[in-house]
Structure 1
């Protein structure tokens, strides 16, 4: 059986798969679409991250495909109805990168509240901006608002509680009387209540028709003055132009954005000159440790599915 891996994966997991399957591993293949489609002509399995578009054209080129392993949890780059129609299993790495994302949220929140860690060059140059950087804020005693309260949101809440942070959350998929609220020490809120009360707002929802531009000009205006916004979920949930304006006006105290409407982020984008802004290239869930966990999980589950299915 043949397996194609077209984005980066932990070497040990690749080696394990290669011992059992005819494995093509090329982490740059995602950028050469015609070659990728050709390689899939006789492939039984495919392993991707978020950049590979598993759309109808790809599926039509992969007539033997039985399983798609996703090195991550977001599935918006995979045509799920088309996969279901072909009885192709789609396996995400649910939970394996949750700690990496949760730590990113807490770490960037602390950095943005303190406002000092992105200005090392001023101190190094001898200007000594002690007075200007003495108005940073502490995380302790703040309120974290989580929009979406699945596994990553719940782990983020746990880390926040340990640092003396109150946590509120909005998730219409979880009933107000569900046991998880009491168990996690988190209070459920409506979206408007959360925006009005949270010092830090962090997004943990998929990109859907309902969440597209969920955080627009109107939603940003409802946030507390000086609040922090963090997005590790998906680009398109935030109106990036409105966010840039909210930062420049001083209404928001800062933002950390890891995902964007267009990736890579284009030169001259609407966020380029916004203050107290941390921009990262879709890596919140990617650390040395999480890559090992994610890769091992997907290798095991994809191999299990192929072995269970047997020869095509």
Structure 2
């Protein structure tokens, strides 16, 4: 009977797919207990994680029977992909299952940042009436620049266009003649051109050596004065200290961040005193609906791999 270890939260309904054919070790506290996780993985045929569980070469070495890792999401920077390849472990991200959730988050961020009124409740409740200071702006007619043009960015483009935004996108990995561009976004061959033209820039790239601090002080300086930055991709893509300086200097007009270089955000972060900054704890892709889709797809992916590779069991 295959053993499946789950180290972070999952929608309980998805576990029903495993029925009586699998032994399930479901403990969301394992993500914060590395030694215990390594111990229970000793007999695991499958491991299901979110973004916080660090799947290192050392963890893989403690799991000699491991055949598949199910990722409850799409980012893979917490998984040592080279080590997985070396050991023949299949990694299954939940591609597409949370696209809508992140796209809605980005569009909501653009609306909130440009309007500029949604952090004023305490002022109004205290008796202030700052109408003139909070008139803000509209997204209609503004330019949205998407850095990366995968599934989430395309869902974002559709929603932004419906609100009257002009959409630009930069992605060197999507060919100029790819039909995905048609009717969704204007292709910017150079990132610099996109940054200079956009009123709102939203990031949709993985975290790699080449995207580390892709949006640094120089990139921010090239953006329009008053432009907004949204990052619901990966934290290391943005130089957080440079962002704090740009916001404090009032060059950038605001930012919304769901991801950070270190999570949870450490005390004393340079972002702590930055104005017009909205932060959330890595939840852009997590809604009730998306959690159900992501969990269901991940479990199905894991079962599919186990059925195809684990021939010692009747599953």
Band the TM-score falls in, shorter-chain normalisation: over 0.9
- The aligned length equals 311
Whether 2:42 is the aligned partner of 1:41: answer yes
Q: Which residue matches 2:102?
A: 101
Shift of residue 20, structure 1, vs aligned partner:
2.7
**Partners in 2 of 1:278 and 1:285 — Cα distance?**
16
**Partners in 2 of 1:182 and 1:188 — Cα distance?**
13
Contact 2:167 2:184 in 1 (8 A): no
**Partners in 1 of 2:128 and 2:162 — Cα distance?**
36
**Partners in 1 of 2:286 and 2:222 — Cα distance?**
32
**RMSD of equivalent CA atoms:** 1.1
Q: Which residue matches 2:251?
A: 251
Contact 2:17 2:300 in 1 (8 A): no
In structure 2, list runs of 5 or more residues that go unmatched. Answer: none
Distance 1:246 1:185, change over 3 A: closer
Task: Give the structure-2-normalised TM-score.
Answer: 0.96
Q: Which residue matches 1:237?
A: 237
Q: Which runs of 4+ in 1 moved over 4 A?
A: none
**Partners in 2 of 1:211 and 1:174 — Cα distance?**
16
Contact 1:258 1:282 in 2 (8 A): yes
Contact 2:98 2:290 in 1 (8 A): yes
**Partners in 2 of 1:185 and 1:31 — Cα distance?**
41
**Partners in 2 of 1:123 and 1:235 — Cα distance?**
33
**Partners in 1 of 2:122 and 2:15 — Cα distance?**
41
**Partners in 2 of 1:186 and 1:222 — Cα distance?**
19
DSSP-derived class of the 2:262 partner: coil
DSSP-derived class of the 2:235 partner: coil
**Partners in 1 of 2:260 and 2:294 — Cα distance?**
22
DSSP-derived class of the 2:298 partner: helix
Whether 2:208 is the aligned partner of 1:172: answer no
Q: Which residue matches 2:286?
A: 286
Contact 1:14 1:25 in 2 (8 A): no
Task: Give the structure-1-normalised TM-score.
Answer: 0.97
Whether 2:221 is the aligned partner of 1:216: answer no
Contact 1:234 1:260 in 2 (8 A): yes
Contact 1:168 1:189 in 2 (8 A): no
Q: Which residue matches 2:26?
A: 25
Q: Which residue matches 2:121?
A: 120
